[in-house]
Amino acid sequence: MMKDREIGQITIILNDRSFEYDVYTLLLAYFPGREIQVRDASAEGDEKAEEQPNGQISDTELLVSVLLKAPDERTAGLLSLRCGEISRTIPLDPGSSRSLIKNRIKRSLYEALRDLSGQSLPWGNLTGIRPVRLAMEELEKAGDRETASKSLQAVYYLSPRKADLSVETAEKERDILGKLHPEEGYSLYIGIPFCPSICLYCSFSSGPISLYEKEVDRYLDALIYEMEETRDLFAPKKLQSIYIGGGTPTTLSPERLQRLLEAVSRNFDLSAVREFTCEAGRPDSIDREKLSVLKDFGISRISINPQTMNQKTLDLIGRRHTVEETVSAFALARSMGFSDINMDLIVGLPGEGLLEVHKTLESLATLAPEAITVHALALKRAARLSLHLDEYERISFQASDQIMDACEETCRGLGMGPYYLYRQKNMAGNFENVGWSLPGFEGLYNILIMEEVQSILALGASASTKFVWEGGRIERAENVKDVRNYLDRIDEMIRRKWDLKEKGPRER
């Protein structure tokens, strides 16, 4: 059996690069954090490409080749996996569509990796970020949870627990969306790209407010101008949810928060709004005056995000607040009447194993928020933790099945159920992000943005306005990410939205 420590160079050879993502991400799930070379066989010539899988490789090299053939040949192609003396060649049956061939490639590669490693992945051969969509499709076909779960296990090799979780989440989303009628409305996102400090794992386009102090008021000017010029973009649809995120919106002073929220109230009809959320994510950005402003303007849902309740980890990842400040901020919000509070935690942080995660879970259970969002750490390229990973080699990165199970058991013990779920590239342990909540406290905006069933007007630097056209076609108008660039090009950001609206859905 091959083991990660025994594998040297990992190479993929393809003569059709359209399948590169699926092969690459499945290999990365088995060998997280490893460098994987990709070679274009078609560029080397077909004859050489056919011979390459049979060439000599070192004892520690892992070579995976996927070579497709002409549609009229007896097989669609060959998948070959070699590691030293271990060799596996699998004919790919011809399919009626590229999607069928892609599914056969993923199934065959997963079976080979599973057999050679002796390890099954909890999410099987799934490499996409939205497993709930597949669960929704299976529910529609099967009609009941048990049959849909078994189908996910059989077709995609999901573990029973992950298949059940996906189907349960799909049922909850279907129920909520059925009552909301999202096609009749739209959502509003407002981005505040400032934080007290930047966390080591963060890859968002935000910066320390201390570096942007001179631009904050100019940023609010531009943001409110963009709001005024695009408020009718989705008329006559009704505004159903608002999400103020970032960054950390509560990094703004009470006066600036009030100015922003006054502009929202002035420019939009809020009579149909079902959920008004503001991220108050950093406990060190929360005080009574700011919470009073949020309360006065009808904010119904806030997030107070500890990420971990272990002080050593907070210090390491650059969260410049204490565990005690998290507890105090939560108690303050409760005392002021906030009755819908979400708390985020991250598993897979440097040095954190089951013991540390249990400590965080026990602390959150004592606070008893209405919702808990569990994130498996994703190391994106822009994150400082990823850029300087060699400095943390002595620290174990662990997001084991035991840890995810412990998170689920704690949330269920608090009476919560899953309401949204997604996955990202480079996630610790190849796991998932799950939103858990008490019944009736599901985050509507989270579901809407994940399932892409509703248009979203997005304002601010790095915001992405989404047009969901009739028939499900989706197009986006992106704002630039850099704050100063956004200030200089605000009129262009506004034109992008209206140009897309006027053109309507483009041809595929």
Place of tokens 């849909």: 148
Taking alpha carbons only, the member of 22, 86, 108 closest to residue 12 is 22
**Domain assignment present for 260:** yes
409 vs 351: CA distance, rounded Å: 22
Any domain includes 58: yes
> Of 146, 161, 177, which marks where a domain is finished?
177
Tokens for 379, please give them.
């190391």
Pair 149, 186 in one domain: no
Shared domain for 194 and 169, answered yes or no, is no
pLDDT at 391: 42
Q: Are residues 46 and 135 in the same domain?
A: no
Is 70 within a domain?
A: yes
Q: Domain count of the chain?
A: 3
Q: Are strands 185-192 and 238-246 parallel, antiparallel or unpaired?
A: parallel
Position 34 in a domain: yes
Does 198 share its domain with 259?
A: yes
Q: Are residues 173 and 192 in the same domain?
A: no
Give the domain-ending residue among 66, 94, 117: 117
**Do residues 223 and 459 lie in contact, with contact meaning Cβ atoms separated by under 8 Å?**
yes
CB 72 within 8 A of CB 58: no
- Is the domain of 230 the same as that of 165? no
Half-sphere exposure at residue 310, Cβ-oriented, CA atoms within 13 angstroms: 21
CA 372 from centroid of its chain's CA atoms = 15
Same domain membership, residue 93 and residue 61: yes
Of 503, 428, 419, 427, nearest to 469 by C-alpha is 503
Residues 23 and 92 in one domain: yes
Nearest CA among 284, 230, 282, 286 for reference residue 257: 286
Tokens 């997963």 -> residue: 110
Asked if residue 75 belongs to a domain, the reply is: yes
Do 171 and 139 fall within a single domain?
A: yes
Which structural domain, as residue segments, surrounds residue 136? 131-177
Q: What is the pLDDT of residue 43?
A: 64
**Strand pairing of 433-437 and 417-422?**
antiparallel
Per-residue pLDDT of the chain (508 residues; tens, 9 = 90+): 455 547 888 999 998 888 899 999 899 888 877 889 999 887 655 444 444 444 556 667 899 999 887 655 666 788 898 887 778 888 887 666 788 888 889 999 999 999 888 889 899 999 878 999 999 999 999 889 999 999 999 999 999 999 999 999 999 999 999 999 999 999 999 999 988 665 555 555 555 666 778 889 999 999 999 999 999 999 999 999 999 998 899 999 999 999 999 999 999 999 999 999 999 988 999 999 999 999 999 999 999 999 999 999 888 877 788 999 999 999 999 999 999 999 999 888 887 888 999 999 999 999 999 999 998 875 544 444 444 444 444 333 344 788 889 999 999 999 999 999 998 766 555 688 999 999 999 999 999 999 999 999 999 999 999 999 988 899 999 999 999 999 999 999 999 999 999 988 865 4
Asked whether residue 149 falls in the same domain as residue 105, the answer is no
Q: Of 398, 397, 399, 323, which Cα lies nearest the Cα of 364? A: 323
**H-helix segments, 203-242:** 216-230
Q: Are residues 147 and 215 in the same domain?
A: no
As a whole number of angstroms, the distance between CA 156 and CA 137 comes to 13
Establish if 369 belongs to a structural domain.
no
What are the beta bridge partners of residue 213? none
Which residue is it, tokens 């499945």?
Answer: 26
pTM: 0.89
Would you say residue 426 lies in a domain?
A: no
Measured CA to CA, the distance from residue 493 to residue 490 in angstroms comes to 5
Question: Using CA atoms, how far apart are residues 176 and 165, in angstroms rounded to an integer?
Answer: 17
Report yes or no on 368 lying in a domain. no
Same domain (yes/no): 171, 236: no
CATH code where residue 82 lies: 3.40.50
